[in-house]
Amino acid sequence: MSSYEIKADNNSESADYYCDCPYGGAICKHVAAVALAINDEKTITITSHEEVPDEESWEQLIKDAKPKDLRNFMLGFGVKNQDFRLQIKLAFLKPLSVENADNIPYYQSQINGIFDNYDYRGFIDYRSSYKAINDVSKFMTKADNFYSKGNLNEAFCISAAIAMEGVKAIQYMDDSSGECGGAIYEAFQVIENILNNNKPSHELKERIFNWLYEQVQNSDYRSYGVGDSLEPLFFDTAASLKQMDIAYEFIDAKIIELDKEDGWSKKYYLQSYLGQKINLLQSEGRTVEADNIIDSYLHFEEFRQIRVAQALSASNPEEAEKLILDGIKIAQQDDAPGTVHQWKDQLLELYKQQKQAFKYNKLARELFVENTSDIKYFKVYKQTSPKDNWEEKRNKLIAELNNKKRGYYGGISLDDLAKIYIEEQMIDELFAIVSSSNSIHTIIKYTNHLKEKFPAELLEYYKAAIEIQAEQTGRNVYVSLVKYLKQMAKLKGGLPAAKGLKVSLLNNYKNRPAMKEEFWKLNWD
């Protein structure tokens, strides 16, 4: 039973209410239902023996309510319920003025209000940030609806407001989930769709370009990792509207700014801006200027790759080889092993295409020594080596790898060495790796390659490794032990040995009921 009270003043302009039901929101179902039924200005105190009015009742109450009373109730409810206010704005939102009007400030105020509602002492925590972006996404849905209906201006204004307010909010919120960044990217995507649409007027395109130019001046987009789609959109729009001078001016200013920076980001952004400038110059047919930039920055992999591609297209493999070899030297000087590997991989393909067998063989060996986890280089080395002395060359390679210190960037891991033994059918050597290991995972991994020649020995290794595993406790351990015993049982003579080991373990660990439960699942009599 719930008790509730509603008080309205004589003008029905404001209301207060109370209910002792446990609902913790702004207003409960009891108060809402009774308020809608008010037709006279008075105080009502009701004790209800019905928990919740059915759906037909509340719908009928709304239908029967006087418009003025219903409006006043909604105004009062809106004061206390932020989500209700948002839903009203979204439900009744209309373009604010004539076509192509700048409505961005209006939408900014709405979205800024959302972030303010979740701001606690200058910060929006993780949970609140999720809720805030969920509310912002409702505006994004509205933008999509405007776009689908052909109202491109309103779609742009909402998207622009989301990007602008989002990049402000992301600086004082926990966006580890990427929700805010995702909303900004989605806003840019809508704007890109508008520009690629064949319906926007030239005036709207100009406004969007001017807005993009204003936004690219804001370094916060780049600083907070949400600018990767902004600048390309700006450059594409500049090219489309023949606003090249503004784009070049922006690029040159950014390059000057980069001179003051240090670290990896300087190289990354310099290469990016130069690449954009090259694309713009080429789109205008200014190939000589574009080529000058490329040749001046051949130490950048992206630009050197352009020259390599051109050399190959011109059937000049010697020039391509020289460019790649120089690229390897530069990457080595820059201590960039990943780039070195990419260049060498490309050079290997070049040698293959040019049928340079000696260079192909030598480089394949070099690449395998540097990347022993990738057996493909070993296979290439084998395929391009003479068969009559292959065994000698193979053993020399293995000895070289074994003599190096094991670990990162040195030597070869046992698993990588095992790949060679499997490839070469060196079963005795593979068995030596397994015999030196008490790891059940290693034993299982290579069982199929060893079970025909060493079944008895494998059974002993399984037994020893499983007994070591059984020293641990926990149901997950016991589940794994069941799997290991099943693997053991598949070996020649393995079933009786596995059954005996099961009995032995249960006898040794009688106080482990969970182990007993899991072992029952083996269904071994």
Q: Do the domain assignments include residue 381?
A: no
Q: Print burial letters for 206-231: b (CB count within 10 Å at least 16), e (below 16).
A: ebbbebbbebbeeeebbebebbebbb
Q: Based on the fold, state whether residues 50 and 121 are members of the same structural domain.
A: no
Residue 329, SS3 per DSSP: helix
DSSP 15: E
Domain end among 80, 112, 127: 80
Q: Based on the fold, state whether residues 126 and 74 are members of the same structural domain.
A: no
Note down the domain range covering 37.
Answer: 2-80
Per DSSP, the residues of 498-520 read HHHHHHHHHHHTTT-HHHHHHHH
Q: Do the domain assignments include residue 215?
A: yes
Q: Do the domain assignments include residue 354?
A: no
Q: Based on the fold, state whether residues 305 and 190 are members of the same structural domain.
A: yes
How far does CA 34 lie from the centroid of its chain? Answer: 49
DSSP 171: G
Look at residue 423 in the predicted model and tell me its pLDDT: 96
User: Strands, E, within 332-410: which ranges?
Assistant: none
Identify the CA nearest to 312 among candidates 349, 358, 357. 349
Q: Based on the fold, state whether residues 50 and 156 are members of the same structural domain.
A: no
Q: Do the domain assignments include residue 273?
A: yes
Look at residue 92 in the predicted model and tell me its pLDDT: 62
Query: What is the full per-residue pLDDT of the chain (525 aa) written as tens digits?
Result: 455 555 555 554 445 555 655 544 556 655 555 555 554 444 444 444 445 555 567 777 777 777 777 777 777 776 767 666 666 665 565 555 445 678 999 999 999 999 999 998 899 999 999 999 999 999 999 999 999 999 999 999 999 999 999 999 999 999 999 999 999 999 999 999 999 987 788 999 999 999 999 999 999 998 898 888 999 999 999 999 999 999 999 999 999 999 888 777 888 899 999 999 999 999 999 999 999 999 999 999 999 999 999 999 999 999 999 999 999 999 999 999 999 999 999 999 999 999 999 999 999 999 999 999 999 999 999 999 999 999 999 999 999 998 875 544 456 889 999 999 999 999 999 999 999 888 999 999 999 999 999 999 999 999 999 999 999 999 999 999 999 999 999 999 999 999 999 999 999 999 999 999 999 999 886
Question: Are β-strands 15-19 and 2-8 bridged in parallel, bridged antiparallel, or unpaired?
Answer: antiparallel
Q: Do the domain assignments include residue 420?
A: no
This prediction has a pTM of: 0.69
212 near 230, Cβ under 8 Å? yes
Q: Measured between alpha carbons, how far is 501 from 489 in angstroms, rounded to an integer? A: 10
Q: Do the domain assignments include residue 360?
A: no
Q: Is 140 exposed, middle or buried (0-12, 13-18, 19+ CB in 10 A)?
A: buried
Q: Based on the fold, state whether residues 56 and 98 are members of the same structural domain.
A: no
Q: How many domains does the chain have?
A: 3
Domain end among 323, 348, 383: 323
Domain end among 295, 323, 351: 323
Look at residue 34 in the predicted model and tell me its pLDDT: 59
Look at residue 99 in the predicted model and tell me its pLDDT: 57
Q: Do the domain assignments include residue 298?
A: yes
φ, ψ of residue 452 to 5 degrees: the values are: -75, -40
Q: Based on the fold, state whether residues 75 and 157 are members of the same structural domain.
A: no
Q: Based on the fold, state whether residues 196 and 73 are members of the same structural domain.
A: no
Look at residue 438 in the predicted model and tell me its pLDDT: 82
Look at residue 66 in the predicted model and tell me its pLDDT: 75
Q: Measured between alpha carbons, how far is 161 from 220 in angstroms, rounded to an integer? A: 15
Q: Based on the fold, state whether residues 441 and 497 are members of the same structural domain.
A: yes
Look at residue 45 in the predicted model and tell me its pLDDT: 47
Q: Based on the fold, state whether residues 75 and 122 are members of the same structural domain.
A: no
Q: Do the domain assignments include residue 114?
A: yes
Q: Based on the fold, state whether residues 62 and 118 are members of the same structural domain.
A: no
Q: Based on the fold, state whether residues 76 and 122 are members of the same structural domain.
A: no
Q: Based on the fold, state whether residues 63 and 107 are members of the same structural domain.
A: no
List of residues 6+ apart from 435 with CB closer than 8 A: 457, 461
388: number of Cβ within 10 Å: 7
φ, ψ of residue 170 to 5 degrees: the values are: -65, -20
